[in-house]
Amino acid sequence: MTQRTINLIRHFLAVALIAAGLAAPASAQLRVRVDEGNFQPTPIAIPDFQVTGANGELAKQIVEVVRADLASTGLFDLQNPASFIQRDLTINAEPRFADWKIIKTEGLVVGAFEDLADGKVAVSFRLWDVYGGELMRINGEPGRRLTTTPENWRRIAHKISDSIYQRLTGEDPYFDTRIVYIAETGPKTARVKRLAIMDSDGANQEYLTSGRSTVLTPRFSPSAQEITYMSYEGGKPRVYLFNIETGRQELLGNFPGMTFAPRFSRDGQSVLLSQAQRGNTDIYIMNLRTRESDRLTDHPSIDTSPSMSPDGRSIVFNSDRGGSPQLYIMNADGSQRACPSGGRDTACRITFGKGRYSTPVWSPRGDLIAFTKQEGGKFYIGVIGTDGKGERLLTEAYLDEGPDWSPNGRVIVYFREARPGASPQLWSVDLSGRNERRMTTQTDASDPAWSPLLQ
Amino acid sequence: MFRGLAVSTLVHASVLAMAMLSWPQPESQCDKAIDKLRREQPGIRSIEIVMQLPECATSADLPIDFEDVGLVSNVSELRKAPEPVDEALPPPEPEVEEAPAEAPPEPAAEPEEAEAVPDPRAKPQEVKKPEPKKPEPKKTEALIKKEPPKKKEDDLAFLDDFDKALQDKRQARPRAAAQATPDRPAIGNAGRDREGAGDRSGNTASLQASVRRQIGFCWRGIEDLPKEDQIDVMIRMQLATDGSLIGSAELVSPKSRPAGRSGLAVDLALRAVRKCAPYNLPEDAYEQWKDIEVTIGPIQE
């Protein structure tokens, strides 16, 4: 055997050994499963917008509303602009991701504000994924540009917040909305209750009625143009329709008895309400076009607070037919349905807990019903599945009442009296039970209702 | 004669009926005013009508002009940050990404050829001049550069490089480990003690538990997504010996980001894996954790 052959064999063996050594671990892959997270608000950075034109002040106001909207969700940690390292961001350049990774920014909003020649203003913005080092598309687009008149600047800000919120959470938006409520003033013995409206963040508060007659339980129509509520005008509690734009109020229907607890149907064509007559309270539905009404329940018990499902096929309401106020679901056409507790009936009970359940409201998502619960001297706002399962109490107080859903079904607004004798204030809570926060209003406030997204 | 009368009455009646039916409906004040404006100023835009007749603005009739011009500018034309000459830096090894979090901002701060330019922000880091882009992971770069065999034409001499590579690998690691501690700046990684006693053992179960715990800490969780959108996301990641990510972790399943809310589960999983690096794992078990397949998803019933 030649030396060369020996060398060949030697090297061959060496290679084989090395190859074996290198190859062996390559197929061993560590497999891990993670199913428990750690909820932390996502750090996002919204630097001041680049400004073209003279209206720097307006640009500042817009970015502040955007930051406040996103911070109010409790899902984001709005990073302090003083901590930003990169100061030369422009709308058309990639950010220096390293500068943002250092301060742990996960989402970066870069915006630019322009004064346009025709007097309008335009805001453009992009959203960057810092750790992925790439642009986050908004509805498939690499950015968005919104234009409007300067007076409308708040709506631009809310629409920007809506885009960012939607892209980062996957939820439908809800900032470009309004909340109607009852503004209360005066001593407890002579309370003045007026219909009031404000933006979802508390700005632009206005009174809609004079306060001459007491107004209760206002509710928005799906078009956001009309409100229905109960008023004691004329001394008798009755349901009215109020047109926000024209300010006109009209009595709904010619019911002989007292009518209250109105709510629009999901298509806005009808109003559900309760009528109390000769000691019995039942639920009716009135078609707004034909002005004809149908009776939906016919039971000696008190049936009230109806709320329709998003698909218009079912109605949840409060009834004491079982002995105490509980929640029931019925088919809108009055037909029988299979009950979660077994059997079939025209109205199926879904709550069975101790305590009294009232003011049910069907979530716009269709899967949950929010309610007020009273037990052991305390009040709670809770949610329950439409099959009666998964009851969760989200808040607890001396008095928490009257929940209503944001249009994306993520946030619940309600009113609270913190202690005996305290005045009512509006509060909101996230569906997860987190982020309970007070909504500031100029006066005491109760009975809130959330509008759909404004067109 | 009566027939004529009847016919005449009928004709008159129908004419009157038609006239009444086609009588114009009463218009509201606003409708009238808007029509007038439109006649006087043909082509007037909705927004101008609103500005002249604010009391007639209803969202349904006169929508606010919101334009969604998606392309602010073509993404492909986006340029990188103006200075400093990121592009002029030597192209990095394709697999290696700069160490996140504690990587000093020196790509932003100085031109790559300046050895002596003092950068106020660079104080915490010592070693970066020779290889400006990668302070600590330079040992990783050394490793990676050497692994692929250098093919040479002549007979078997190339095999010598294998021997050399093996030896270098053995030497590089203890050397790198020794260097790691003084180099590593504290920013961003404060609190992560690399010499954590609990992670000493290299067995699979404890490695899995450690990775699971670290990623779980960085993952926001998907409990608030609807049940059907809480999907499992499988990600493959390759780590360098210091625990940093090589490349950017890749999505294995689903194959691409789905539209809808389940896309969010993918976003959150990828983000958790990326922002959690560098991972704190025992170097002597590197072979076992250099390639990890992690599945992030809801608790399985």
Model ipTM value: 0.72
Query: How far apart (Å, rounded) are the C-alpha atoms in residues A268 and A270?
Result: 6
In the DSSP assignment, the letter for residue A47 is P
Tens digit of pLDDT for each residue in A438-452? 999 999 999 999 999
B49 contact A CB<8A: no
Residue B172 predicted with pLDDT over 60: no
Fold topology of A42-169: Rossmann fold (3.40.50)
- Residue B141 burial class via C-beta count within 10 angstroms: exposed 0-12, middle 13-18, buried 19 and up: middle
Choose among A35, A7, A20: nearest CA to B212: A35
Per-residue 3-state assignment (H helix, E strand, C coil) for chain B: CHHHHHHHHHHHHHHHHHHHHCCCCCCCHHHHHHHHHHHHCCCCCHHHHHHHCHHHCCCCCCCCCCCCCCCCCCHHHCECCCCCCHHHCCCCCCCECCCCCCCCCHHHHCCCCCCCCCCHHHCCCCCCCCCCCCCCCHHHHHHHHHCCCCCCCCCCCHHHHHHHHHHHHHHHHHHHHHHHHHHCCCCCCCCCCCCCHHHCCCCHHHHHHHHHHHHHHHCCCCCCCCHHHCCCEEEEEEECCCCCEEEEEEEEECCCCCCCHHHHHHHHHHHHHHHHCCCCCCHHHHHHHCEEEEEECCCCC
B123-136 average pLDDT score: 36
Mean pLDDT of the region A57-72: 97
Judge: B223–A32 Cβ closer than 8 Å, yes or no.
Answer: no
pLDDT at B23: 62
Report the alpha-carbon distance of residue B294 to residue B279 in Å, rounded: 13
The C-alpha R_g of chain A, in whole angstroms, comes to 29
Residues of B numbered 84-123 whose beta carbons fall under 8 angstroms of chain A's beta carbons: which are they?
Answer: 86, 98, 100-103, 105, 107-108
**What is the structure's pLDDT at A224?**
79
* Residue B83: partners with Cβ closer than 8 Å, 6 or more residues away: none
Query: What pLDDT, on a 0 to 100 scale, did the predictor assign at position B45?
Result: 65
Q: How far apart are CA A29 and CA B294, in angstroms?
A: 10
pLDDT of amino acid A22: 52
What burial class does residue B156 get, using C-beta atoms within 10 Å of its C-beta: 0-12 exposed, 13-18 middle, 19+ buried?
middle
Task: Mark yes or no for CB contact B292/A29 under 8 Å.
Answer: yes
* pLDDT over threshold 80, residue A28: no
Looking at residues A368-373, what average pLDDT do you find? 97
The neighbouring-strand residues paired with A220 are A227
Partner-chain contact A36 B70, CB within 8 Å: no
Which residues of chain B are within 8 Å of residue A169 when distances are taken between CB atoms?
A: 264
Distances (CA, A) of B164 to A81, B157, B183: 52, 12, 27
Do the Cβ atoms of B159 and A144 come within 8 Å? no
Q: In the CATH scheme, what architecture does the domain B198-296 have? A: 2-Layer Sandwich (3.30)
Question: What are the angstrom distances between the C-alpha of A243 and each of A220, A268, B23?
Answer: 10, 13, 27
List, in sequence order, the alpha helices (H) in A125-198.
153-169
Q: Which residues of B touch A435 (CB under 8 A)?
A: none
pLDDT of B200 above 50: no
- pLDDT bucket at A16, cuts 50 / 70 / 90: low
pLDDT level of residue B276 (50, 70, 90 thresholds): very high
Neighbours of B186 (CB within 10 A): 10
Q: Choose between A386 and B223: higher pLDDT.
A: A386
Provide CATH code, domain A178-450. 2.120.10.30
Give CA angle at A43 (B77, B76), nearest 5°: 10
pLDDT of residue A201: 95
E strand residue ranges, A40-120 = 42-45, 50-52, 76-78, 107-115
Q: Which residue has the tokens 């006693």?
A: B197
**β A50-52/A107-115 pair status:** parallel
Banded model confidence at residue B132, pLDDT cuts 50, 70, 90: very low
Q: What is the pLDDT of residues A81-127, one digit of tens each?
A: 999 999 999 999 999 999 999 999 999 999 999 999 999 999 999 99
Q: How far is B190 from B295, CA to CA, in rounded Å?
A: 27
Over range A129-139, report the average pLDDT. 92
A431: nearest CB among B166, B217, B224: B224
Q: For residue A307, what are the β-bridge partners? A: A316
Average pLDDT score over residue span B263-288: 93
Token pair listed for A7: 């060398």
In angstroms, the CA A293 to CA B207 distance is: 68
The predicted pLDDT at position B37 comes to 80
Please report the pLDDT score of residue A304 as a whole number. Answer: 95
State what percent of residues in chain A have pLDDT above 70.
96
pLDDT at B31: 77
pLDDT score, position B58: 52
User: Which pLDDT tens digit goes with each residue over A292-318?
Assistant: 999 999 999 999 999 999 999 999 999
pLDDT (0 to 100) of residue B73: 39
Q: How far apart are CA B113 and CA B130, in angstroms?
A: 9
pLDDT at A370: 98
Q: Mapping DSSP to helix (H, G, I), strand (E, B) and coil, where does residue A243 land?
A: strand
Asked if residue A444 lies in contact with residue A212, where contact means CB atoms within 8 angstroms, the answer is no
pLDDT at residue B134 greater than cutoff 50: no
Tokens 């050394």 found at? B142
Please say if the pLDDT value at position A344 is more than 90. Answer: yes
pLDDT at B271: 93
Are B71 and A144 a contacting pair at CB < 8 A? no
Do the Cβ atoms of A98 and B103 come within 8 Å? yes
Q: What is the pLDDT of residue A380?
A: 97
Tokens at B108, concatenated: 């932003």
How far apart, in Å, are the Cα atoms of B251 and each of A330, B210, B268? Answer: 46, 21, 12
- pLDDT confidence tier of residue A159, bands split at 50, 70 and 90: very high
Mean pLDDT over A61-86 rounds to: 96
- CATH 3.30.1150.10 spans which residues of chain B? 198-296
Give the Cα separation of A55 and A286 in Å (integer): 50
pLDDT of B216 higher than 50: yes
CB contact under 8 A, B68 and A28: no
What distance in Å separates the CA atoms of residue B224 and residue A433, rounded to the nearest whole number? 11
Q: Looking at the complex, does the CB of residue B260 fall below 8 Å from at least one CB of chain A? A: yes
CA distance B297 to chain A (A): 5
- Taking 60 as the threshold, does the pLDDT of residue B163 lie above it? no
pLDDT tops 90 at residue B295: yes
| Nearest Cβ partner for B81 among A11, A96, A141 | A96
Instruction: Using the predicted structure, report yes or no on whether residue B151 has a pLDDT greater than 50.
Output: no
Beta-carbon separation of B65 and A147 below 8 A? yes
**Minimal CA separation from A381 to chain B, in Å:** 18
Model confidence pLDDT, tens digit, residues A386-433: 999 999 999 999 999 999 999 999 999 999 999 998 999 999 999 989
Q: Cα–Cα distance between B265 and B281 in angstroms, integer?
A: 26
- Look at the alpha carbons of A319, A323, A327, A332 in this order and tell me if their dihedral is positive or negative: negative
pLDDT, residue B39, reads: 82
Mean model confidence pLDDT for chain B? 64
Nearest to B71 among A88, A120, A142 (CB): A142
Q: Where in chain A are the domains?
A: 42-169, 178-450
Question: What is the nearest CA distance from B84 to chain A, expressed in angstroms?
Answer: 10
Compute and round to an integer the Cα radius of gyration of chain B. Answer: 35
Contacts for A434-438: CB closer than 8 Å, 24+ residues apart? A434/A74, A435/A73, A435/A74, A435/A75, A436/A394, A436/A395, A437/A72, A437/A74
**Contact between residue B56 and residue B34 where contact means Cβ atoms under 8 Å apart:** yes
A116, A156 contact by CB (below 8 A): no
Q: Is the pLDDT of residue B128 over 60?
A: no
Cα–Cα distance measured from residue A415 to residue A397, given in angstroms and rounded to the nearest whole number: 10
Chain A residues with CB-CB distance to B216 below 8 A: 34, 36-38
In order of A24, B99, B200, B218, B232, the CA distances from B239 in angstroms are: 17, 11, 18, 17, 22
Residue of B nearest to A126 (CA): B72
Fill in the amino acid letter for A412.
I
Alpha-carbon distance of A182 to A426, in angstroms, equals: 10
pLDDT at B111 > cutoff 60: no
Burial of A154 (0-12, 13-18, 19+ CB in 10 A): middle
Q: Which of residues 163-222 of B touch A (CB under 8 A)?
A: 163, 166, 187-188, 204, 207-208, 211-212, 215-222
User: Rounded to the nearest 5 degrees, what angle is found at the Cα of A103, between the Cα atoms of A102 and A107?
Assistant: 105
More confident residue, B143 or B8: B8
Asked which of A355-369, B179-193, B265-279 is least confident by mean pLDDT, the reply is B179-193
Q: Which of A233-237, B30-34, B100-104 has the lowest mean pLDDT?
A: B100-104
Point out the residue among B71, B159, B293 whose CB comes nearest to the CB of A31: B293
Please say if the pLDDT value at position B28 is more than 60.
yes
Name the residue among A39, A85, A143 with its Cβ closest to that of B72.
A143
Structural tokens at position A13 = 């063996």
CA neighbor of A412 nearest in space, from A449, A440, A453: A449
The better pLDDT of the pair B71, A86 is held by: A86
- With the CA atoms of A325, A327, A332 and A338 taken in that order, what torsion angle do they form, in degrees rounded to the nearest 10? -120
pTM above threshold 0.80:
no
pLDDT tier at B87, thresholds 50, 70, 90? very low
Per-residue confidence band for A18, with pLDDT thresholds at 50, 70 and 90: low
State mean pLDDT over A53-66.
Answer: 93
Chain-chain contact of B188 with A102 (C-beta, under 8 angstroms)? yes
What letter represents residue A49's amino acid? Answer: F
* Banded model confidence at residue A371, pLDDT cuts 50, 70, 90: very high
Higher pLDDT, B120 or A242: A242
A7/B107 Cβ within 8 A: no
β-sheet bridge partners, residue A136 = A127
Q: Are strands B291-296 and A30-34 parallel, antiparallel or unpaired?
A: parallel
Minimal CA separation from A55 to chain B, in Å: 19
Judged against a pLDDT cut of 50, whether residue B75 lies above it is answered with no
Instruction: Give the per-residue pLDDT at B57.
Output: 56
What are the pLDDT digits (tens) for B240-272? 999 999 998 999 999 999 988 889 999 999 999
B34 touches chain A (CB under 8 A): no
Contacts of B219 in chain A (CB under 8 A): 34, 37-38
Contact B82 A93 (CB under 8 A): yes
Euclidean distance between CA atoms B300 and A318, whole angstroms: 36
Q: Taking each helix axis as running N to C, give the angle between helix A153-169 and helix A56-72, from 0 to 180 degrees, rounded to the nearest 10.
A: 40
pLDDT of residue A294: 93
Whole-angstrom Cα distance, residue B97 to residue A165? 30
Q: Rounded CA gap, A134 and A121, in Å?
A: 28
Candidate from A34, A120, A140 with C-beta closest to B219:
A34
Tokens of residue B143, six digits = 């490793």
Closest CA to A381 of A347, A353, A363, A358: A358
